Structure 1
Amino acid sequence: MHIQEWLRSLHPGSGIKGSDSEDLWSLLPSLPLSSFSLSSLSLSPSSLLGLGALASLTAYWLVTRPRPMRPPCDLQAQSVAVDGDPSCRRSALLASDSLLEFYYDDTRTFYDMFQRGLRISGSGPCLGFRKPGQPYEWISYTEVAERAQVLGSGLLAKGCKPNPEQFVGIFAQNRPEWIISELACYTFSMAVVPLYDTLGLEAMVHILNLAEITLVICDREEKAASLLENKEKGSTPKLSCLVLFNPFSDALVARAKSCGVEVLELEQLMELGRHNLKDPVPPQPQDLAVVCFTSGTTGKPKGAMITHGNIASNTSSVIKILEGSFVIQQEDVSISYLPLAHMFERMIQVSMFCHGARVGFYQGDISLLMDDIKTLKPTFFPVVPRLLNRMYDKIRSSVNSPLRRALLHYAVRRKQAELRSGVVRNNSLWDKLVFNKIQASFGGNLRFALTASAPISPTVLSFLRATLGCLIFEGYGQTECTAGCTFSMPGDWSTGHVGAPLPCSMVKLVDIPDMNYYAKNGDGEICMRGPSVFRGYLRDPERTAEALDADGWLHSGDVGQWLPNGTLRIIDRKKHIFKLSQGEYIAPEKIENVYTRCVPVLQVFVHGDSLQSHLIGIVVPDPEVFVGWAKERGIAGSYEELCQNPHAKRAVLEDMRTVGKDAGLKSLEQVKDLHLHPEMFSVANGLLTPTLKSRRVDIRKFFQQQIASMYSKTPI
């Protein structure tokens, strides 16, 4: 008799499916074994054999059954009201309202954290890199520490001072030398100022002058040349030395010399340091570690001052949350490809260094990232929603037959059912039959992924948690609170929220009467306070006062809502600034002011969704000129007919893009689709305020159907 039929005869109506072995294992414990006794059974050899098989299967299931992850707190109460105020909450992992500053007694600075990893790993691998088609090569913790001390000594020999008021610029892609340069600064208490291409030349000049930077470390000659261009114009008078990782031409040296700038190879500076080696001057927790300039959307970039204590508390809080579910081991490895100029990637790396783990760098070409991942086989994968969305789309589009599609959907549902019960694994039947190739494309060793920088669709997050078979956490925060202020709780695999406050953060919601958000109703502007909140903006007291109130609360500009289980959901933006899915900030009013210069446009509303990568618009054409304007382009019809005409819409869109390009709008700031609406926004229809400003929330609600329709299509 087949084992399925035999079990069905023992337990009539059990519903055991011959094609689903996981259902079989789930039913074995419920079989009424206690109802059987020797006196009621014929002791035939076949019966004894059957009982033996059942006992063996039951024992096997008990040993191998997947066990749910034990959450560190009650998942229905993940945060605790502070002083009885439900709008102000802190982590349920804390025993009191005292927030967490450090996890290990000896890790209160970035420098301390690396030193702890050095003690754990010593000659073990630390930083990895690869050449095309080659395996990864590794630099040990001992080598990194030695190089950092030598390079730091070289910086001192070039006139840098061993104190946190000394700013050193780093203008390079992710690579081991970036981290060695950063550690060189921290070894002698200097502060780092990361620079990056998308800032633009004007912003770069502002940063170099504001921070009074004399020395910048670059990777390529092209970046050094762009800095020299500003020096030649007299825009950056204090710049006096450029240090390059890559080889450079004699022409660059001559050009630099003509405007009073010295150009050195990294090895030259290292050699200078070897001949002038100094003992480390480690930083204190209150010392400045990094000034992270945000590109912003309007005005000059702001330099967020992040201290070593900020970094220690933020990193320690993540370690605290994960202590029972994901302890970083020396064997763990992370892939570094997200920009080191931003705090998210830096916090991932310091967490790895603190535990003596490894960080492998991509080759610098995003098109080769998947090849780097397959070669590196990371266990830790920091990621942004934009990349997760692409993974989701690629997996779904690769399944083209109805049978395979049905199998994928069924397998995902089965894994999602396990997730709801707290089980996270990659060795189920479905992993072996359906998801093994997906997991292999990421190296096959993933244990942990963290997504941040922008919200992620619940559908995408739930799908990838099932298919990748690893822990995927979501965090929320911003540069000004070092990186994160909320984080998913281990064991809570629900979606639609960004977790509970980190142990280093107290989070409260504040009334926004103009938008009808009130803390008493559980929603309002998200504010945070604690040891991970930044010191302020560099030499900018006015904007510091806008971000930090008198009581030390950082006002995020995001609108949040407390959920019954103590987690936070992001529901809106206080200011009319939002992020796209790739993490880019957009100021819609600036774009709207540009588009109203278009002849056929009377009113325009620009909308972006943080789950989408592009903008769309609602346009009210000017009724006095639209018909004639369209007729000149060979498009006939009444005003109302033209608003429904796809050719007219395309013509308006092309005109807007031309005007936008002439005005200097970036590609991301240009709308990719629009809806033509024949009725003006007005006070009477509730779409304008009495001062004739757009009621953005109401416009968004009014055109909800059109917005959804535009985002469901491929951009024009």
Structure 2
Amino acid sequence: MGVNIGVTILISLIRIIVTLYDIITIPLYYYIQKPWKKLERAASQHGRQLDPTNPYSPWVRTNQHEKNLMQGCDNVTQFFDRVVSTYGDKKAFGFRPILEESSDVQANGRIFKKYVLGDYQWNNYYEMQERVKNVASGFLQQGIKHGDIVMIMADTRLEWMLSALALMKVGATVSTLYAILGEDGIAHGINETEVTHIVTSQDMLPKLLKILPRIPLIRNIVYMEGFSKVIKEQFPEEIKVTPFLKLEEMGKMVPFPSTYPKSQPNDTAILMYTSGSTGIPKGVMLSHRNVLASAAAYTVISPHLSKQDSYLAYLPLAHVLEMASEFYFMSLGMAIGYGSPLTMTDKSTGIKKGCPGDFSVLKPTIATGVPLVLDRIRKGVCEEIDGKGAFAKQLFDFVIKYKRHWTKQGYRTPIVNFLVCNKIKQILGGRLRMMAVGGAPLGPETHEFIDACLDIQVLQGYGLTECAASGTLMNVDELSSGRVGAPLAGVSIKLIDWVEGNYRVTDKPNPRGEIIIGGPNISKGYYKNDQLTKESYFDEDGTRWFYTGDIAEMYPNGTVKIVDRRKDLVKLQFGEYISLGKVESELKCSTYVDNICVIGDSYHDHLIALIVPNVKALKQLAQTVNKEHMSYNDLCRDLEITNLITKDIVTFSNKQGLNKMEIPTKIKLCSEEWLPDTGLVTAALKIRRKNIHDYYKSEIRNMYGGIDATVMGKSS
């Protein structure tokens, strides 16, 4: 007790000293930093409505395209050639060679691969162009021709992009699959596209060999070399298995034809499969025009970037956000260094102790991310601070709140940045200044925490595979959190009523409704699914539009806030509508939550939740009740532990402002990992509600008192 009182007194003294310092120095900061200019830019009009008298009229961005290399290009190959002629001998793409691989067996029996990686090795743009030609020629010798579909299924790496650019040069369509998909998802994608050629990585060969009887059309496999044991001799003779480097060497021997036919703007460049959060992954047909329009849409932030910036690429290239980002950064001549989620930081699970992570070696200035990554960074920082004692925790909380307060007033905090932020920022290399985040909603608390703690600009964006990742993006000058910015360049957004969910464009104070996105970035439709294409897309006045299924609120300055999703809305027993996605987004910030699926339906008057607990937080809780001797699985089943976490979730929910009907009354702690190969989450790590419901069907029935919960996400 005495220690706590002492800490409180000391923190209070620090507050007083800081307040006196602020009073004395505020005139100087006001004169030097000119905060009113930043506030003016933040409050400026980011988007405008084409017809302000019509509430259903589309919104567009106020500042449109900067001059860019995508303009006037008919296809991706023409664009890449223009990039090469512009930036030539500048560093283009880099990778870290694997110097050593070992296996680390955990206490729970899980095996982690540990790597020692070298420094980045680089190709400049001229060298990349030559390699693309060689690989393209190698593909021609493999029998691939203009109009064919070729599958790429591998983790993000230099050879992935090389293969994609080479296949587009050949005029083939690149079909993508996440490397972490389960066997059923892989077989579905390969069979639906009827591909005969697949480009993959060496460590994926065992999985392909296992499902070979289910993919009878496959005749050629090109694999990117790795450390794992080569098993190509185990494949039947009728299937040709070729190492990537050998393919490239073959291409060197036969020059690529100079008169080869060029792809047209409406030819399908990429057949990209959605992550499948609401069912079986759907193949989205993205044309060359779509891809280039998507890259051009991001030029609204080009004045804040230059060819001196560098980018760490680690998200799956099978995800449209990563692909759109890389094409855009290419247009600026930026250096793109490839990494992996397993090797990102010095403490990542795939990094051998003593070996620096990708961020530490590359020291990028720009990165992209998904909310789950940022949530984990936040929890990791908080756990590190908490471990240093009560004083460190309270001081850190004060410093972050202090910085957030002054940032919102338009000021910078150089002393806090120097003493606190710069040290924490070293986790991500020390030079990071901007991170674009998409793929799922990012909680305002996490957004503001990362902004303040790392002293970087977090730019939330919104997009879907169907619109080639180009929907909205925050301005660099925005100070808001919880919004996703204004429409990107060349993109139009309008709202339509969703009466069932009680969202209307005439709502006050701001219009609300389902988002419809239009523009040259909107895809041609779904592969082999004309009916769904007709239901989801339409053409009007020369513009192609897509129904997103997401519900938004439009602010007067043209910025968008995602408030709901049609498939995430449930109606409880007495008619209350609850957004499951909103509740999950708030509760993911809880200390005890690593992942969560909230459940409700019209047969019950309350919500329940399935939670994958944070291991470290769970073990710390166990120590407080003398149960540290119990295993992780036993702790997840322990009634006392479950009750304590339930109480904490209720308290946390109230702090987050959730109303009574939005707070889960019962929870189950799930000891199973939710991984893509289990089918419980997508390859983009979004939860798959129906799969989770089916997997935990009996537990859900018990939590609801023996009455089976019906289908997740239904509104009635």
Query: What one-letter code is carried by the residue in structure 1 that aligns with 2:193?
Result: A
Tell me by how many angstroms 1:345 deviates. Answer: 0.8
TM-score calculated relative to the size of structure 1: 0.72
SS in structure 2 at match of 1:310: helix
The whole-number CA distance in structure 1 between the counterparts of 2:307 and 2:46 is: 33
Indicate which of 396, 402, 410 corresponds to 2:398: 410
Tell me by how many angstroms 1:212 deviates. Answer: 2.5
Q: How does 1:188-337 map to 2 (within 5 A)?
A: 188-220=170-202, 222-231=203-212, 233=213, 235-246=214-225, 252-258=231-237, 260-278=238-256, 279=258, 281-297=261-277, 300-320=280-300, 322-324=301-303, 326-327=304-305, 329-337=306-314
The whole-number CA distance in structure 1 between the counterparts of 2:706 and 2:121 is: 63
The whole-number CA distance in structure 2 between the counterparts of 1:137 and 1:693 is: 51
Alpha-carbon spacing, 1:339–1:694, altered in 2? closer, same or farther (3 Å): closer
Tell me by how many angstroms 1:69 deviates. Answer: 4.5
Indicate which of 163, 182, 187 corresponds to 1:181: 163
Q: Deviations over 1:568-624 (max 9, x none)?
A: 2212221248xxxxxxxxxx99xx9xxxxxxxxxxxx988624532114469999xx
Alpha-carbon spacing, 1:666–1:695, altered in 2? closer, same or farther (3 Å): closer
Q: Deviations over 1:407-433 (max 9, x none)?
A: 32333234323432445x6x7011111
Indicate which of 387, 394, 408 corresponds to 2:380: 394
Alpha-carbon spacing, 1:288–1:67, altered in 2? closer, same or farther (3 Å): farther
The whole-number CA distance in structure 2 between the counterparts of 1:115 and 1:71 is: 40
SS in structure 1 at match of 2:27: helix
User: Does 1:340 find its partner at 2:317?
Assistant: yes
Q: How does 1:433-582 map to 2 (within 5 A)?
A: 433-521=419-507, 522-549=511-538, 551=540, 552-576=544-568
Alpha-carbon spacing, 1:515–1:238, altered in 2? closer, same or farther (3 Å): same
Alpha-carbon spacing, 1:392–1:576, altered in 2? closer, same or farther (3 Å): closer
Q: Structure 1 stretch 339-348 or stretch 130-139: which is displaced more?
A: 130-139
SS in structure 2 at match of 1:79: strand
The whole-number CA distance in structure 1 between the counterparts of 2:29 and 2:336 is: 44
Query: What one-letter code is carried by the residue in structure 2 that aligns with 1:566?
Result: G
Q: How does 1:673-684 map to 2 (within 5 A)?
A: none
The whole-number CA distance in structure 2 between the counterparts of 1:415 and 1:308 is: 44
8 Å CA contact retained: 1:620, 1:680: no
Tell me by how many angstroms 1:305 deviates. Answer: 0.7
The whole-number CA distance in structure 2 between the counterparts of 1:183 and 1:17 is: 59
Alignment partner, residue 27 of structure 1: 27
Q: Which runs of 5+ in 1 are unaligned?
A: 1-14, 31-60, 578-587, 593-604, 623-644, 683-687, 699-716
The whole-number CA distance in structure 1 between the counterparts of 2:517 and 2:603 is: 43
- Aligned length, in residue pairs: 582
Tell me by how many angstroms 1:284 deviates. Answer: 3.6
The whole-number CA distance in structure 1 between the counterparts of 2:640 and 2:391 is: 37
SS in structure 1 at match of 2:184: helix
SS in structure 2 at match of 1:553: strand
Q: Structure 1 stretch 525-534 or stretch 133-142: which is displaced more?
A: 133-142
Tell me by how many angstroms 1:462 deviates. Answer: 1.1
8 Å CA contact retained: 1:523, 1:560: yes
8 Å CA contact retained: 2:567, 2:713: no
The whole-number CA distance in structure 2 between the counterparts of 1:241 and 1:678 is: 51
Alignment partner, residue 626 of structure 2: none
The whole-number CA distance in structure 2 between the counterparts of 1:249 and 1:472 is: 37
User: Does 1:609 find its partner at 2:560?
Assistant: no
8 Å CA contact retained: 1:487, 1:501: yes
The whole-number CA distance in structure 2 between the counterparts of 1:619 and 1:88 is: 35
User: Does 1:89 find its partner at 2:58?
Assistant: yes
The whole-number CA distance in structure 2 between the counterparts of 1:444 and 1:257 is: 50
The whole-number CA distance in structure 2 between the counterparts of 1:655 and 1:261 is: 46
Tell me by how many angstroms 1:378 deviates. Answer: 0.7
SS in structure 2 at match of 1:531: coil
User: Does 1:353 find its partner at 2:330?
Assistant: yes
Query: What one-letter code is carried by the residue in structure 1 that aligns with 2:298?
Result: V
Alpha-carbon spacing, 1:680–1:80, altered in 2? closer, same or farther (3 Å): farther
Q: Structure 1 stretch 239-248 or stretch 491-500: which is displaced more?
A: 239-248
The whole-number CA distance in structure 2 between the counterparts of 1:17 and 1:457 is: 32
Alpha-carbon spacing, 1:287–1:679, altered in 2? closer, same or farther (3 Å): same
8 Å CA contact retained: 2:45, 2:62: no
Alpha-carbon spacing, 1:374–1:206, altered in 2? closer, same or farther (3 Å): same
Tell me by how many angstroms 1:171 deviates. Answer: 1.4
8 Å CA contact retained: 2:474, 2:485: yes
SS in structure 2 at match of 1:244: strand
Q: How does 1:620-639 map to 2 (within 5 A)?
A: none
Alignment partner, residue 71 of structure 2: 105
The whole-number CA distance in structure 1 between the counterparts of 2:390 and 2:74 is: 56
Q: Deviations over 1:426-449 (max 9, x none)?
A: x70111112121112211111211
Q: How does 1:349-388 map to 2 (within 5 A)?
A: 349-362=326-339, 365-366=342-343, 367=348, 368=350, 371-388=357-374
The share of aligned pairs that are identical, in percent, is 25
The whole-number CA distance in structure 2 between the counterparts of 1:518 and 1:29 is: 44
Query: What one-letter code is carried by the residue in structure 2 that aligns with 1:261?
Result: I
Alignment partner, residue 48 of structure 2: 79
Q: Deviations over 1:81-116 (max 9, x none)?
A: 447322333224258xxx999775355643344334
Tell me by how many angstroms 1:152 deviates. Answer: 0.3
Query: What one-letter code is carried by the residue in structure 1 that aligns with 2:153?
Result: F
Q: Deviations over 1:109-132 (max 9, x none)?
A: 433443343233322221112242
The whole-number CA distance in structure 2 between the counterparts of 1:251 and 1:18 is: 62
Which structure: larger Rg?
A: 1
Q: Deviations over 1:50-97 (max 9, x none)?
A: xxxxxxxxxxx64x77785487786356332447322333224258xx
The whole-number CA distance in structure 2 between the counterparts of 1:573 and 1:390 is: 24
The whole-number CA distance in structure 2 between the counterparts of 1:502 and 1:184 is: 29
Tell me by how many angstroms 1:195 deviates. Answer: 1.8
Alpha-carbon spacing, 1:397–1:215, altered in 2? closer, same or farther (3 Å): same
Q: How does 1:151-190 map to 2 (within 5 A)?
A: 151-162=135-146, 165-190=147-172
Alpha-carbon spacing, 1:249–1:342, altered in 2? closer, same or farther (3 Å): closer
